[in-house]
A and B are shown apart, each in its own frame.
Chain A
Amino acid sequence: NAGVTQTPKFRILKIGQSMTLQCAQDMNHNYMYWYRQDPGMGLKLIYYSVGAGITDKGEVPNGYNVSRSTTEDFPLRLELAAPSQTSVYFCASSYRGGPGQGNYGYTFGSGTRLTVV
């Protein structure tokens, strides 16, 4: 049981380059999330998805795009990398049931450390 798998672990990008951070989970979780972690700050939500085909913006979505074509995969795309996107990125997934059902913790991936120069 792999949990949440994120790739790559490290990446250096030049300003203006593009890249996709991959995230896959094998727990049949319906909800998936992308967070970024900056020094001295809490985790900030970039985008989230409640199921295949459905995505929505979080607190800090500018400069990013996502898609959720399958339950398992939730890639994060940076189109024109900027130095402000230097950060550590975490993908997470969780199962959320309907009202009155269980509330479960998130499972996080191992993170991607991205530097834009």
Chain B
Amino acid sequence: ILNVEQSPQSLHVQEGDSTNFTCSFPSSNFYALHWYRWETAKSPEALFVMTLNGDEKKKGRISATLNTKEGYSYLYIKGSQPEDSATYLCALDSGGGADGLTFGKGTHLIIQP
């Protein structure tokens, strides 16, 4: 069973501040790394799928980087807004065929006005 770790578990950030959090995974089992945004009472929504070492992806104020050699990815949010409050999940695709993603437990982000 693969171990995908996310930290911190939860995070309170002041509106307007920038923040980041981490996903770590076993680098020997890497095919792709996914990030999802999960708002309360909704379903997870895909943010990024990253496959190459050094990849950097951006969507509005949210960006992510990937280091496959050391097994980590960072998600950054610039100028946090209340609507950014959500749980952010990362998930490892180990490429073992089609056996799904291994999800971390998420970072629960709360933006305080």
Contact = CB atoms under 8 A, between A and B. Distances in A.
Contacts of B97: 50
A56 B8 CA distance: 33
B111 interface: no
B23 to A, nearest CB: 11
B86 interface: no
A41 B105 contact: yes
Identify which of A50, A90, A108, A109 gathers the most chain B CB atoms within 10 Å of its CB.
A108
Interface string B35-73: 010000011111111010000000000000000000000
Contacts of A50: 97-98
A68 interface: no
B13 interface: no
B99 A104 contact: no
Contacts of B31: 103
Interface of A: 4, 31, 33, 35, 40-43, 45, 48, 50, 56, 58-59, 90, 96, 103-111
Interface residues of B, number: 28
Contact of B93 (A41, A103, A108): A103
B4 A42 contact: yes
Interface string B72-100: 00000000000000000101010001111
Given A105-B46, A106-B46, A109-B43, A40 B105 contact: yes
16 contacts: A33-B100, A35-B100, A42-B4, A42-B102, A42-B103, A43-B89, A43-B101, A43-B103, A45-B100, A45-B101, A48-B100, A56-B98, A58-B99, A96-B98, A103-B31, A106-B44
